[in-house]
A and B are shown apart, each in its own frame.
Chain A
Amino acid sequence: MAWVEVCEAGEVEVEDVIRFDQEDRTFAVYRSDKGDYYATDGFCTHGRFHLSEGLVMGKLIECPKHNGRFDITNGAAVRVPACKDLQTYSVKVEAGKVFIDIE
Chain B
Amino acid sequence: MAIVVQRRDYSLKGPESKRADEKGLASAQWHATPIPRAKMKELMKRKDGPAIRDTLIWFIGLIVLGYLAYLSWGTWWAVPAFFLYGTLYASPGDSRWHECGHGTAFKTPWMNDVVYHIASFCVLRSATPWRWSHARHHTDTIIVGRDPEIITARPPIWKILYMQIFHLYGGPIEIKRFILHTFGKLEEQEKEYIPASEYSKVFREARIYMLIFLAVIAACIFTGSILPAMFTILPTFYGFLLVLTFGVTQHLGLYEDVLDHRLNTRTIYMNRVFRFLYWNMNYHTEHHMFPMVPFHALPKLHEEMKHDCPEARPSLWAALREVIGALRKQKHDPAYVVVKPLPSTALPYRYGPDEDELELTRSEA
Contact = CB atoms under 8 A, between A and B. Distances in A.
Asked if chains A and B come from one complex, the reply is yes
Interface of A: 16, 46-48, 53-55, 57, 62, 64-67, 69, 79-81, 83
Nearest to A78: B109
Given A57-B46, A66-B139, A80-B198, A48 B291 contact: no
B139 A67 contact: no
A65 B291 CA distance: 6
A79 B40 CA distance: 22
Contacts, number: 41
Given A55-B41, A67-B103, A83 B195 contact: yes
23 contacts: A46-B135, A47-B139, A53-B40, A54-B292, A55-B44, A62-B292, A64-B290, A64-B291, A64-B292, A65-B138, A65-B139, A65-B291, A66-B135, A66-B138, A66-B139, A67-B103, A79-B103, A79-B109, A80-B131, A80-B132, A80-B135, A80-B198, A81-B131
A83 B291 contact: no
Nearest to A63: B292
A47 B104 CA distance: 19
B197 interface: yes
A48 B139 CA distance: 11
Contacts of B103: 62, 67, 69, 79
B152 interface: no
B27 interface: yes
A69 B104 CA distance: 12
A19 B319 CA distance: 40
Give the dominant DSSP class at A's interface.
loop
Interface of B: 27, 40-41, 44, 46, 102-104, 109, 131-132, 135, 138-139, 195, 197-198, 290-292
Contacts of B135: 46, 66, 80-81
8 smallest beta-carbon distances between A and B, as pairs: A81-B135, A55-B44, A66-B135, A67-B103, A67-B102, A64-B292, A55-B292, A47-B139
A62 B293 CA distance: 11
A47 B135 CA distance: 10
Contacts of A53: 40
Contacts of B292: 54-55, 62, 64, 67
Nearest to A18: B37
Contacts of A83: 195, 197
Contacts of A65: 138-139, 291
Contacts of A79: 103, 109
A83 B194 CA distance: 11
A88 B40 CA distance: 25
Given A66-B138, A67-B104, A48 B46 contact: no
Contacts of A46: 135
